[in-house]
Amino acid sequence: MQDPPIRAAEQAPEHTENEGSAVPRRCGGTNGDGSPCNSPFVLPSGFCISHDPDKEHERKAAQQRGGMRTASRKRKGLNPADLPPLETLEDAQKWSAVIAKAVATGELSSGQARAVQIALTTWMRAHDMIKLRTRLERMEKLLQQKRGR
């Protein structure tokens, strides 16, 4: 069974009555440096989500999700030495294979791979255009020679 999603803590009342004077309600937890937590978002337990002992499971799950997102943004990408030269269409196919493997193993994010694949597609189209232009120029030259006879 999956745990219910974590809900945002309700904001505590701005003040509570304490010995006849209005005192801001704050979390009863202590920060890592020993200072009192100043979060105004206090749960019924008297703690914020970060300090409530009953919320440890939800807190750890949220930290793991956050860590995964951070790690995916911090991926450095591939080492250029791991990529073959890019001179032919066969080389572009090799690049695609390296990129697919890097995504599958977590070395590249899907966003990084998408950007490289777009660049490869653009490169392949330009490569094709150059080949077609060269072929067309040769054909035009042959046609002119044939007409010139």
134 and 89 assigned to the same domain: yes
CA angle 75, 57, 26 (to 5 degrees): 100
Domain with 132 in it: 80-148
20 and 67 assigned to the same domain: yes
Please tell me the total count of domains within the chain.
2
118 and 135 assigned to the same domain: yes
51 and 90 assigned to the same domain: no
91 and 44 assigned to the same domain: no
Domain end, chosen from 57, 73, 89, is at: 73
Closest alpha carbon to 89 in 114, 125, 137, 119: 125
Q: Is residue 7 part of a domain?
A: no
94 and 124 assigned to the same domain: yes
Give residue-wise pLDDT tens across range 96-126: 999 999 888 888 888 889 999 999 999 999 9
55 and 87 assigned to the same domain: no
Task: Identify the pLDDT of residue 120.
Answer: 94
The token duo for 5 is 């999603």
For residues 6-15, give the mean pLDDT.
Answer: 42
Give residue-wise pLDDT tens across range 61-94: 877 776 656 655 656 778 888 888 999 989 999 9
65 and 98 assigned to the same domain: no
Give Dmax over CA atoms of the chain in angstroms: 113
